[in-house]
Structure 1
Amino acid sequence: MSLRLHVLATGLLLAMAALAQAAPLTVGVKSSPPFSFQSGDRWDGLSVELWENVAEQAEMDYRYRVYPSVNDMLVAVEQGQIDLALGAISVTADRERRLDFSQPMYRGGLGIMTRSEPGGWLMTLQSLFSWKFFSAVLALVLVLLIVGVLIWLFERKRNPEQFGGSMGEGIGSGFWWSAVTMTTVGYGDKAPVSRAGRLLGLVWMFVSIITISGFTAAIASSVTVNQLQTSIKGAADLPRVNVASVENTSGAQWLAARGIQFTAYPNLQQAMRAVALGEQDALVADAPVMRHLIRDRGDKGLLVLPNLVREESYAFAMANGSPLQEPVNLAMLSILPTEEWRMVLNRYLGKNDL
């Protein structure tokens, strides 16, 4: 009797194992363009396309289960509710302690998004009325006036035809001479004849080269406006501005670890909107995802700074000790080095993000 029970129990276990093996995998997915997003009635994106190629090579059946956040999806993996998670999942030390990860499929990281200030004629006109511009002009006028007074003092007796008349007329003639000499125009209507005046003219011609170069540089620095300017240059500026991030993400963890105060938003779209509206000055999140959303929306009012605040790898997440790790990694190692995969990266991320 016991033998029969043993045989029945063994048969039941084998049947359950076969049924489990035949059951499709449950794959968690969250919308994180360009890694994962819905295109009509199907999922698309960098991570999705890679997973579907991996599943095809490893002959795995699967079904997707959608999650609202990366954190919810990773908790589901940890608790065994799903077999694998994909999207813009960065590998961090905390996550590595809780989960296993596949081979890295892309190396990006955290970036800073902020508002851009477009240049143009309006900004140029504003620069022309700035104190920096007026101070440069006033300094030049003062130098021209000093030289004009000196040449008048040297020439008023020896050359009254050109620098004579009343004090105002004489200084005015000297100012005119110093201006046309400095700009190398030299109309020839006025020229010093005294020895002191000619010596001053010779010195002034050489000094003018330096003076006009310095003035040109001052004007250029006050008028020239970059096409995209921002008051935030990098991570060092974050403590003094209003910062946003997405709750329960690596960006929020990075900010908290450095003691930088920030406002947490439930998703990236709301955080980006807060920056665009001026409610926040900067956003720390996955740089490739933010660049894709800005490019996809054609939003020229936002930009992601070129330097990453922290490099990160993106990978698939699985439970600790998952039997999927070996077949998934083997398939990925045969896909990632190929030119076909390079073309996929270019298609989703663009050459500037590689």
Structure 2
Amino acid sequence: MNFPEFNFVSSIVSVLLTSTYLSANAFPQQQLRVCFSLYAPFVFQISNRSQEEILGVPLSFGEVAQNFAGYDIELLQAISLELLQNLTNTTSFYLYGSDVECQYRVRINDCQLGIGAYAKTAARSSCGKDCKLALSPEEASNRNICCLSFSEWYVRDGYSVVTRTSISDKDLLTSIRENFTLATLSTFCVLILLLYVSGHLIWLLERKSNPDQFPWRYHEGVDDGLWWSIVTMTTVGYGDRVPVTMIGRFLGVMWMIIGLVAFGVYNGIISSTLTSLNIEGTINPNIVSSVSAYVDSPQYHPICTVQGIWTEYLTEQGIEEDDLVVAPSIEDCYRQLNRSQVNSVFYDRLGHVMHSENELYHLIMPSNIGPAPLTAIDPGVTINTIFQTVRYAIALPLNSPMKPMVDELLKQIADGKTVFDSSLERFQNGWTEGSATRMYLIDSSKFSPLYIEPTGLASRSGSNDTTQIVIIAVTVIVSVVYLFFQFRHSIMGLKEIKKKIGVEEQPAEVVKSRSMHNDGQEGIEILRAVNDLRHEMECMKETMTSLQWELVSLRQAR
């Protein structure tokens, strides 16, 4: 990703200040200061410079663009492009170590604008008696973040809990049922289709030269062809059906190779599925139903979070100090959860999601070569739905004359305005707020629990569902047609046998009379059956006579 040579964040401040001054003479010209703090994925560092080197030091347009990126940066770049008229050298940028210090400096007008995904709350906009000044910006706390003005919110987030999944017992049949996927069924159907094809081909090639093993009639010969195909593929090789023609033997060799590979692949899938079955337990996402359940249930304690609005919220909800672990970073909380030192992690949902998506995580933290922290926890974690909605906005001093114009600019961007600029790669084909959201925020299911599997355990499909469904449908249709014809032939054979039995039980004169008065095919068939029976009876009489003469000869010889 390429970043601009100058920082558009400062330009919005300059343009807004200049426009307001020229139109209303709202405030005198002065050195503008923009304060910001790091909070990925809204503002994060992309350079290798140490933070100590740039912390609290005035930065120019280009220095900010070369060292930082994120959702807030792109949003304000787009706003600046729409309003950019004349860049001035009266704006400087300052990175501070915490969002508390940055917002406090905005409150005391040390900075005229603050960015970094700051939560817009009623308490922070209030100037009540509890809103006191700190001894210094470095010593400010959350209680001193008040008497501020905020722009309209541009991103909605919320507090969310990450819990570790639990494992419960399950039996083998349950495991097999859970692992019987569409891909497994479609693979089996491909195997069946190959059997149909090879069975029909061997019957077509062998029925003329080898009618004893592969009869001419379809309903008799195809059964033998399918039998040969199955026996050959499974390498059983009974030898009761073998091709004798050259082309039939060539097909046999090809089917031995293809069938062995196909059956081996399917056998491997079944074996690996059975091997990977976790018959000792099933993974159950640990869902937190409500804030009260989270606070009152010891199974979620101790809770790990970081200093800021998160500890403030948990304290207000009644979490005891002994049940709360305040870590130096959210990554440290995830490590403690992985080591079972804590039972849950409390943070913003977008922050959780960022630490569960490998691509986004490595974009923001390219120096970390390992997987995203939440994907390294076994047997997985659940990012729960948000407890309380949090809205992020730009911080301004109380009664700032810049607020109306900032709100208007944010509204235009939120309405879907497309911004173009040939000098920026992200803006060359048109930039929208949606494109920044997809790149940096990605989560579109804030009100649904999100289960994160450990890296490498996620299931993969060899083909898409449409292809698999088509394969299954074709196999079912072919099987139904084949079984229909075989069943139909069996029914017709039974009827023919019953007819022959009926002819044998009737006197010959009646049969002959019925056949003479029947001009249809039925009479002809009956007459033929009668003649066949008569011929067989005459043969049997001759055989009996011959046996009697031989018996008489033997007696005389004795």
Task: State the TM-score, normalized to the length of structure 1.
Answer: 0.59
TM-fit CA distance, 1:267: 3.4
Task: Give 1:342's aligned amino acid.
Answer: G
Alignment of 1:39-188 (within 5 A): 39-40=46-47, 41-59=66-84, 62-97=91-126, 98-116=147-165, 127-128=170-171
Task: Give 2:438's aligned amino acid.
Answer: N
Structure 2 residue 433 is the aligned partner of structure 1 residue 341 = yes
TM-fit CA distance, 1:127: 4.5
Q: 1:303 to 1:96 in 2, by over 3 A?
A: farther
Task: Give 1:237's aligned amino acid.
Answer: Y
Aligned partner of 1:27 among 29, 34, 53: 34
Structure 2 residue 342 is the aligned partner of structure 1 residue 254 = no
Name the CA distance, whole Å, in 2 between partners of 1:64 and 1:331: 21
Name the CA distance, whole Å, in 2 between partners of 1:68 and 1:326: 29
Name the CA distance, whole Å, in 1 between partners of 2:383 and 2:290: 7
Q: Which has the higher contact order (CA 8 A, sep 6+)?
A: 1
Number of the residue aligned with 1:38:
45
SS at match of 2:341: coil
TM-fit CA distance, 1:108: 1.3
Map Cα deviations across residues 258-315 of structure 1 (whole Å, 9 max, x no partner). 1112222343333333333322211222111221123224332264533111111111
- Between 291-300 and 240-249, report the one with greater CA deviation: 291-300
Name the CA distance, whole Å, in 1 between partners of 2:333 and 2:113: 27
Name the CA distance, whole Å, in 2 between partners of 1:276 and 1:20: 55
Name the CA distance, whole Å, in 1 between partners of 2:406 and 2:434: 19
Name the CA distance, whole Å, in 2 between partners of 1:264 and 1:51: 32
Q: 1:78 to 1:269 in 2, by over 3 A?
A: farther
Identity %: 18
Name the CA distance, whole Å, in 1 between partners of 2:394 and 2:335: 28
Give the conservation status (yes or no) of the 8 Å contact 2:285–2:382.
no
Greater share of strand: 1
Number of the residue aligned with 2:304:
244
Number of the residue aligned with 1:173:
none
Task: Give 1:81's aligned amino acid.
Answer: D
Name the CA distance, whole Å, in 2 between partners of 1:288 and 1:85: 20
Number of the residue aligned with 1:170:
none
SS at match of 1:26: strand
Name the CA distance, whole Å, in 2 between partners of 1:99 and 1:331: 20
Give the conservation status (yes or no) of the 8 Å contact 1:28–1:85.
yes
- Between 315-324 and 277-286, report the one with greater CA deviation: 277-286
Structure 2 residue 313 is the aligned partner of structure 1 residue 284 = no
TM-fit CA distance, 1:31: 1.7
TM-fit CA distance, 1:223: 6.3
Task: Give 2:349's aligned amino acid.
Answer: A
SS at match of 1:54: helix
Give the conservation status (yes or no) of the 8 Å contact 1:232–1:238.
no
Q: 1:234 to 1:343 in 2, by over 3 A?
A: same
Name the CA distance, whole Å, in 1 between partners of 2:409 and 2:335: 39
Q: 1:258 to 1:345 in 2, by over 3 A?
A: same
Number of the residue aligned with 2:408:
330
Alignment of 1:193-342 (within 5 A): 225-226=282-283, 229-230=285-286, 234-235=290-291, 236-239=293-296, 240=298, 241-249=301-309, 251-261=310-320, 262-295=324-357, 296=361, 297-298=371-372, 299-300=374-375, 301=377, 303-338=381-416, 340-342=432-434
Give the conservation status (yes or no) of the 8 Å contact 1:234–1:305.
no
Give the conservation status (yes or no) of the 8 Å contact 2:287–2:382.
no
SS at match of 2:157: strand
Name the CA distance, whole Å, in 2 between partners of 1:331 and 1:69: 27
Q: 1:353 to 1:35 in 2, by over 3 A?
A: farther
Task: Give 2:164's aligned amino acid.
Answer: R
Q: 1:321 to 1:57 in 2, by over 3 A?
A: farther
Number of the residue aligned with 1:200:
none
Give the conservation status (yes or no) of the 8 Å contact 2:353–2:443.
no
Unaligned runs of 5+ in 2: 1-24, 48-65, 127-146, 173-278, 362-370, 418-431, 447-558
Q: 1:42 to 1:323 in 2, by over 3 A?
A: same
TM-fit CA distance, 1:64: 2.7
Name the CA distance, whole Å, in 1 between partners of 2:107 and 2:387: 28
Give the conservation status (yes or no) of the 8 Å contact 2:41–2:440.
yes
Name the CA distance, whole Å, in 2 between partners of 1:68 and 1:244: 21
Name the CA distance, whole Å, in 2 between partners of 1:268 and 1:21: 41
**Max Rg structure:** 2
Name the CA distance, whole Å, in 1 between partners of 2:96 and 2:445: 27
Map Cα deviations across residues 172-195 of structure 1 (whole Å, 9 max, x no partner). xxxxxxxxxxxxxxxxxxxxxxxx
Number of the residue aligned with 1:152:
none
Q: 1:88 to 1:272 in 2, by over 3 A?
A: farther
Number of the residue aligned with 2:442:
350
Q: 1:45 to 1:111 in 2, by over 3 A?
A: same
Name the CA distance, whole Å, in 1 between partners of 2:112 and 2:288: 41
TM-fit CA distance, 1:328: 1.2
Unaligned runs of 5+ in 1: 1-16, 130-221
Name the CA distance, whole Å, in 1 between partners of 2:393 and 2:45: 19
